Amino acid sequence: ARNLLRQYSTAPPYPGPAFAFDIDGVLLRGRSVIPAAHHALNSLYDQSNERWRAPITFITNGGGTTEAARAQKLTDMLNVPVHEQQIVLSHTPMKTLIDAYKHRAILTVGNPHCASVARSYGFQHVIDTETLAHIHTHSAPFAKVDHVQPSPGDYLVAKMPVAVVFVMTDSRDWGRDIQLLLDVLRSDGHPKRAHSDKQTVDLYFSNPDILFPNEYHMPRLAGGSFAVALRAVYRHVTGTDLQYVQFGKPHAPNYQLAESVLRNQLMYMGYCPESMPAIYAIGDNPPSDVRGANARGDPWRSVLVRTGNFQGQNDETDTAHVVFDNVAHAVQHALEQHD
Ligand code: G3P
Ligand code: MG
């Protein structure tokens, strides 16, 4: 890879803009496509040569799916080919933890796909909270876990001490998950054992968004709200603060991955990967999309659109470089800046 980089470092710099599209509230709203998204992406995709005209990444605080499945869903909905390597999900940085936890037990929180997503990253011993609640009968008294059918492998993982908790997407049962995490995070990894004074199990959150827009007329609670609730209960019960690492926009690891996606595309297009063009981060959520791009600084440019969370002129706290009604106008603006 280093040789390849050296070979391309003499290539010309890419003259146009690069794009980092937020998904929910910019391209999609729940299960519907925002009409301007078709226009925006069609203007960036060269149908006759079957390739993108610009380096593009999709950076979302969504998750609970593999990058490949998310890419396929976008391809189907938007009618342009999206590759799994263009996708940065909220939990994609968890891949980078492989050396620390590959052979240790991991507890996932989220939807029923999360355990297999973690396995797809290479982690060997993964169990989710729903399965753990079923195995430890009565541990989550109000949860419906009768339908769960643990595999023989699940029973083996359940005997190992949990080394780390990955909160990968919105909890499907806050009561069950807060109860189980409270047990696990106060133990030596065996939730049925006596509580220890010190937190020895690691915790990683993804999506820190408090709200997200769907088809409902008001934004709904998102992954960050679950984290607020868990931290509050933990603090109340233990008198100490929960220790954790946060991934997801606006945090740097997701932007670093987006930059490496764009660098790979620059190389593939025959341009110098070390000379990064202006990256237009088009989002609808000021505390995630704008704050993240602004914190990264040059060559990132924050662009707000009014098709999701944000409505108004500009945000006072997380102020975008520019604001447009929709993603089609935002893309047109970016292209005009680099004619
Ligand atoms: O907060 C949940 C998620 O839907 C946000 O996704 O694409 O707007 O970052 P996105
Ligand atoms: Mg969004």
The count of domains in the chain is 2
- What single-letter amino acid sits at 218? M
45, 46, 52, 56 alpha-carbon torsion, rounded to 10°: -20
187, 213, 246 — which closes off a domain?
Answer: 246
Q: Which residues constitute the domain of residue 222?
A: 92-246
DSSP conformation class of 236:
H
Q: Are residues 110 and 67 in the same domain?
A: no
Ligand 1 atom nearest residue 25's Cα: 8
Q: Are residues 214 and 240 in the same domain?
A: yes
Q: Which two tokens stand for residue 14?
A: 């890419």
CATH number, domain of 192, equals 3.40.50.1000
Return the pLDDT at 6. 63
Residues forming a β-bridge with 282: 21, 303
200, 227, 246 — which closes off a domain?
Answer: 246
Q: Are residues 115 and 219 in the same domain?
A: yes
Q: What residues contact 215, with CB distance under 8 A and at least 6 apart?
A: 29, 30, 31, 32
pTM over 0.90: yes
Å from CA of 77 to ligand 1 middle:
17
Q: Are residues 211 and 135 in the same domain?
A: yes
Å from CA of 245 to ligand 1 middle:
19
Measured at the alpha carbon of residue 250, what is the angle toward residues 244 and 256, in degrees to the nearest 5?
90
Q: Are residues 115 and 232 in the same domain?
A: yes
Q: Are residues 216 and 272 in the same domain?
A: no
- pLDDT in 10s for each residue of the chain, 339 residues: 666 666 667 899 999 999 999 999 999 998 999 999 999 999 999 999 999 999 999 999 999 999 999 999 999 999 999 999 999 999 999 999 999 999 999 999 999 999 999 999 999 999 999 999 999 999 999 999 889 999 999 999 999 999 999 999 999 999 999 999 999 999 999 988 878 778 999 999 999 999 987 888 888 999 999 999 999 999 999 999 999 999 999 999 999 999 999 999 999 999 999 999 999 999 999 999 999 999 999 999 999 999 999 999 999 999 999 999 999 999 999 999 987
Q: Which residues of 18-52 are buried (b: 16+ CB within 10 A; e: fewer)?
A: bbbbbbbbbbbbeeeebebbbebbeebbeeeeeeb
Pocket test for ligand 1, best of 31, 88, 206, 209 (most atoms within 8 A of CB): 209
Pocket test for ligand 1, best of 24, 170, 215, 228 (most atoms within 8 A of CB): 24
